[in-house]
A = this chain, B = another copy of it.
């Protein structure tokens, strides 16, 4: 089974045999995490970065008053704290949502890549730039869309991200997130999440039973969220 980071990057640009070999080589140290376990904590200074091989994680921040914010969701193939290579200390906590398998990649290996493999280094940079583009899109959605639009936007995005690493097809995917967590993602109350989900169901845009989400009408769903996948940079061009 091929490394999901390679899968993810090769969606965006061709990797050479050597580049693939280097990436494989850096992902030898593996660690497992249980649901709800912190992978890295705000304030820590890291000596390695964590590549998510399997499972879902959230990037989150807890307030003094106990409220939580989730500022990112990560899936297979995401380098959940690649930025800790240059940013110190960690600005936010990363927590396992499901059981997770992570590769711990030493910063020294990454620094080696920036020294000797400029194209591969640009691809790693790219991966953090896509994260940033997703953040911007969430900011747009949070500020300007209705809660239903915001949820629709999230569902469209996650479907494409999962599809690009072979984790979704036929307009449906496994979504292991409770409505309480979703509230922290969308910045609304858990009760209102429930009503928002029902709104999308009532409009026959999605079905969501157990952990399975199925998009019933991609066109109307994406239109309702002003969703344009361009920001995900899912095309293979020289970078």
Contacts and interface: CB of A to CB of B under 8 A. Distances in A.
A125 B128 contact: yes
A186 B143 contact: yes
A108 B161 CA distance: 30
Contacts of A87: 126, 129-130, 133, 231, 233
Given A129-B86, A139-B139, A91 B230 contact: yes
A110 B239 CA distance: 12
Number of copies: 2
Interface string A200-229: 000000000000000000000000001000
A237 interface: yes
Interface residues of A, number: 51
A226 B66 CA distance: 12
Mostly, the A contact residues are helix
A43 B142 CA distance: 22
Given A69-B144, A143-B186, 15 more contacts: A64-B226, A69-B140, A69-B143, A70-B143, A72-B136, A86-B239, A87-B126, A87-B129, A87-B231, A91-B133, A114-B118, A114-B121, A125-B128, A128-B128, A142-B143
